[in-house]
Structure 1
Amino acid sequence: MEEREQVPAYEDCLDYTPTARSVSLARRRAARLVTAWGHPELAGDAALLVSELATNALLHGCLRDRLFRVRITLGAAALRIEVTDPRGETGPSPRTAAHDEQFGRGLLLVEALADRWGTEPRTVGKVVYAELSIRAYKGDDGPVIPRPELKLPALRQAVATVAPSRLPEFFEELQQAFVRAGDEDSVVPIRMFYRRWGVVVEIERHPERAQRLHAAERAVDSPDPKARAAAILEAGEIVRAAHREVAGG
């Protein structure tokens, strides 16, 4: 039976003009995204890989007035960086640069840094990719932090640790909960807020579980009805299990 390609939990794809400034922009974007996706420990390596692959594309793979593309995906097992350029006839190969050469060391850095790297042909052009393994996520999907108390300081710290990109959403919903509590003269909206974010943290503190949920959320938009139904079922099971765990304390 043919193995189904896994849907990444996160994905970013952007085209750049073939200039040195674009390399800098792509590098900073990569670091910001990988940090927001919950892997600050990989942000530096990801930024360096994007920089080296984009520079290689700029020097050897780009044509005038043709864009190059940087795609970054995060799956359960690896962070993958792809740089696509329009010249398929020029494949990359690491070489030892002379001591006075400005360029020539980039692919040696990629080879040393990445767990896997290579090239893939396209109808027009090629893709050069590099992957960083998510080593901390291997094993039995143990929690990366203890389950926090359903109190504001503990929840805020937990969200900042396991889902930092969602902090603006956290504070916005916190404000809304306190406004509703005042309007209704009831603590129920605040308790509901604590419960909701307790469930978010419960899922995100188990990385493999979080990856499965994010993949299912993306698959809900699939044009395949069976894939959508399976994704809805998967997401529902994960969320219900987290609700039970939070309720059970």
Structure 2
Amino acid sequence: MGIGAEAAGAPPGEAASRRRFRFELAAHPGSPAQARRLTRARLSGWSVCEDTCDAADLVVSELVTNAIVHTASTLIVCELHDDTEKVRIAVSDEGCAPGEPRPSSQRPEEEHGRGLLLVAAVSSAWGAQETGPGLLVWAELPRAAEPVSGKTVPGARAEAFRGTGAEWL
């Protein structure tokens, strides 16, 4: 695993918009847990609020898992960007091998396949773009939690999260 440094060696006290952290993971089953640990450590070091760190754990875990399960990647690249108002998580894969099957549509009775619904629910924005043979999937979270209906939940889409059957405690 390779770990990158913060962009331009941002000294302590420099604006959050200058901070970036990049790390690489082998595409294997233990990588989502490693991505969560690295993400939590970096965001905590950047003084990102605990609720946003919790949401970032979920987002990076889902995106790394998808890159492992649904591509032929041997290497997954994760980047964290810290801005004054938001945190951006980006995960890049190496793409699918020629002729490799793509994921099919989800049936309601299946237990898997809801990760991107959760990502959308806790993120203020998210998307994907092709990068050569691979895909870069990103999500943005507010740097500080926003109060919603008496609960503190990261992201402007907290209401959508309630429809997933999960609940913030």
Q: Answer yes or no: same fold by TM over 0.5.
A: yes
| Matched residue, 2:65 | 55
TM superposition shift of 1:97: 4.7
| Matched residue, 2:53 | 43
The structure whose residues are more often strand, as a share, is 2
Q: Secondary structure at the match of 2:84?
A: coil
Q: Distance in 2 between matches of 1:23 and 1:8?
A: 26
1:16 is aligned to 2:16: no
Q: Which stretch of structure 1 is more off in the superposition, 39-48 or 106-115? A: 39-48
1:27 is aligned to 2:50: no
| Matched residue, 1:82 | 90
| Matched residue, 1:67 | 75
Q: Distance in 2 between matches of 1:136 and 1:106?
A: 21
| Matched residue, 2:134 | 125
Alignment RMSD (CA, Å): 2.9
Give the % identical residues: 30
Question: TM-score w.r.t. structure 1 length?
Answer: 0.46
Paired residues of 2:49 and 2:145 also in contact (CA < 8 A): no
Residues 51 and 136 of structure 1: CA distance in aligned 2, closer, same or farther (over 3 Å): closer
| Matched residue, 2:125 | 116
TM superposition shift of 1:134: 2.7
Q: Which residue identity lines up with residue 38 of structure 1 in the other structure?
A: S
Q: Which runs of 5+ in 2 are unaligned?
A: 1-15, 147-169
Q: Distance in 2 between matches of 1:129 and 1:61?
A: 16
Q: Distance in 1 between matches of 2:72 and 2:139?
A: 19
Q: Which runs of 5+ in 1 are unaligned?
A: 1-6, 138-249
| Matched residue, 2:12 | none
Paired residues of 2:86 and 2:143 also in contact (CA < 8 A): yes
Residues 71 and 39 of structure 1: CA distance in aligned 2, closer, same or farther (over 3 Å): same
Residues 72 and 62 of structure 1: CA distance in aligned 2, closer, same or farther (over 3 Å): farther
Q: Which residue identity lines up with residue 58 of structure 2 in the other structure?
A: L
TM superposition shift of 1:38: 0.5
Paired residues of 1:97 and 1:103 also in contact (CA < 8 A): no
Within 5 Å, which residues of 2 pair with 1:201-212?
Answer: none
Q: Give the count of matched residue pairs.
A: 128
Paired residues of 1:32 and 1:43 also in contact (CA < 8 A): no
Within 5 Å, which residues of 2 pair with 1:208-247?
Answer: none
**Offset from partner CA, 1:56-100 (integer Å, 9 cap, x none):** 11111233xx2011111101221000000011799x99x65533x
Q: Secondary structure at the match of 2:30?
A: helix
Report 1 or 2 for greater relative contact order, CA contacts < 8 Å, sequence distance ≥ 6: 2
